[in-house]
Amino acid sequence: MAKTVKRIEKEFLLKNLYVDQIPVIYLEDQTQYQLSTVEKPTKGQMFFKSDRPIKGLKVNKKINLMFDHRGQVITFSAKVTSIKGEQIIVGEPEILHKNLDRTFSRVSSPSGLHVKFSFLKDRYSLTYPKIGEYENVLEHGEFLKTLNPQDLNGLIGQMESWIKAYATGYKVVIFKDVKPVSVEERVLAKTGKAFFLPTTLGRLPQKDPYPKKRLITEEIYKIYLESLGVSKFALEEAYTSFIADKNKEGVMSDLWVPILFHEYVIGYIHIWIGKDAHMPLLDYAIVDTLFQFGKVLAYSLRLNKYFEDGKLENEPFEGNIIDISASGLLFAYPISNLSSALMTDIELKVSLITERRTIITKAKVVRRYKDKIRGYFGCIFMDMEPENMRYLFEYIYGKPFTDEDATFLFGQV
């Protein structure tokens, strides 16, 4: 991840640009320009002199620059405020980044490059509760080898046999003909996370130990209560009363795990341990296994054509390329149903079309944000052939690929 430079270090680096006469590199439309700092930064401005005229440079254009400070590449963006021959004045950047990832530096998209996208996997429009994250139902690892996802009834029978060894009761609910009603159902459907109460004599987890967050923590649950209109002063009482009521109903340990399919919560698996049961409380290993069962259930439903009526046509689309590197790109697309489907971890087929060659590769959306009009999607290329990587590098940077470039030209998509 790129690391933002703190204020004092930023001032030190900008001063050293002038004192040490460190060259600044600007890459634009397959051409590399070298800028020298001709005056000390002053009053929010920086003064550069280019080694040659820069084609297409205009006042108010935002440009991406980089320099090497003692072996550490620093990148920043700045807006051009004035151009006088080869002298360029830009506004002082608000942020500098120290790029720690060994990928390549991003530049504006060359004018002759055209890019087309399509979804790599099937896409659906369903009536189930929808969340803002994407779940790949094909990733099961070793777990799938012990199950037959094509046999839905057999799969549920195997799951039931496993659950009986660890819990006194269970049920599986699909939100096809029923809507979320109970508090647990509604918060699970809203968040796509599991409701895990290890003991009704305790509380919900304070922290979520999973890298990709899976659990409804105490904080998340209280935020949900507030969204229902519970005042801050009554939150703790409502929270503790909810857990105490479970205990009074004879539940000692409780777990509700969502069944996720793409961006939808299609249902859940609920298991519990009653007060009179002589078995250990539910633990994180059981949470892990139920999530795996949920994945295989979703996969099995897909194999059995359960979602077929909601499958969408996979038409190619074009995005507005903001910038590109040899490791990925950033593109924009108008806010729409399609842009809402471009979630983190979605994989795309990408066609990079140039006059000499068309590169077809895969890309994964790794970050996204939006303004009032467009969504913006940062993607990394995946499994690109080495000869295509070399060609793309030479095409967008306008120079041969060298070992020196590999260590210098890196940044964030």
Question: Which of 72-76, 242-246, 272-276, 377-381 shows the lowest mean pLDDT across its residues?
Answer: 72-76
Percentage of the chain with pLDDT > 70?
92
Whether residue 284 is contained in a domain is answered as: yes
* Position 396 pLDDT exceeds 80: yes
Mean pLDDT, rounded, for 352-377? 91
* Position 352 pLDDT exceeds 50: yes
Q: Are residues 77 and 118 in the same domain?
A: no
With 0.75 as the threshold, say if the pTM is over it: no
Mean pLDDT, rounded, for 279-288? 95
Whether residue 105 is contained in a domain is answered as: no
Range of 277's domain?
131-309
Q: Are residues 136 and 224 in the same domain?
A: yes
pLDDT given for residue 270 in this prediction: 97
Tens digits of residue pLDDT in 225-282: 999 999 989 999 999 999 999 999 999 999 999 999 999 999 999 999 998 888 999 9
Q: Are residues 17 and 59 in the same domain?
A: yes
Q: How many CA atoms lie within 13 A of 191 on its CB side?
A: 24
Q: Are residues 254 and 143 in the same domain?
A: yes
> In terms of pLDDT, which residue wins out, 393 or 238?
238
pLDDT given for residue 411 in this prediction: 44
pLDDT given for residue 138 in this prediction: 63
Q: Are residues 142 and 261 in the same domain?
A: yes
Mean pLDDT, rounded, for 60-77? 81
Q: Are residues 66 and 30 in the same domain?
A: yes
pLDDT given for residue 43 in this prediction: 76
CATH at 139: 3.30.450.40
> Of 262, 283, 309, which residue is a domain's last?
309
What single DSSP character describes residue 143? G
Question: Which of 2-11, 164-173, 190-199 shows the lowest mean pLDDT across its residues?
Answer: 2-11
Whether residue 104 is contained in a domain is answered as: no
Q: Are residues 291 and 242 in the same domain?
A: yes
* Position 302 pLDDT exceeds 50: yes
Mean pLDDT, rounded, for 101-111? 67
Please choose, from the candidates 229, 190, 223, 189, the residue with its C-alpha nearest in 3D space to the C-alpha of residue 204: 223
Question: Which of 23-32, 194-203, 309-318 shows the lowest mean pLDDT across its residues?
Answer: 23-32
Whether residue 397 is contained in a domain is answered as: yes
> Of 264, 289, 309, which residue is a domain's last?
309
Q: Are residues 283 and 376 in the same domain?
A: no
Whether residue 251 is contained in a domain is answered as: yes
Name the token pair of 373.
């009009």
Averaged pLDDT score across all residues of the chain: 86
CATH at 398: 2.40.10.220
* Position 141 pLDDT exceeds 60: no
* Position 100 pLDDT exceeds 90: no
DSSP sequence for 316-372: -B--EEEEEETTEEEEEEESSHHHHH--TT-EEEEEEE-SS-EEEEEEEEEEEEE-S
Number of domains composing the chain: 3
> In terms of pLDDT, which residue wins out, 370 or 102?
370
pLDDT given for residue 406 in this prediction: 54
Q: Are residues 40 and 64 in the same domain?
A: yes
* Position 105 pLDDT exceeds 70: no
Percentage of the chain with pLDDT > 90?
45
* Position 351 pLDDT exceeds 60: yes
Q: Are residues 303 and 351 in the same domain?
A: no
Q: Are residues 199 and 283 in the same domain?
A: yes
Could you tell me if 91 and 54 are in contact, meaning their C-beta atoms sit under 8 angstroms apart? no
Q: Are residues 289 and 353 in the same domain?
A: no
DSSP sequence for 214-268: -B--HHHHHHHHHHTT--GGGHHHHHHHHHHHHHHTTEEEEEEEEEEEEEEEEEE
* Position 408 pLDDT exceeds 90: no
| End-to-end CA gap in the chain | 10
Whether residue 107 is contained in a domain is answered as: no
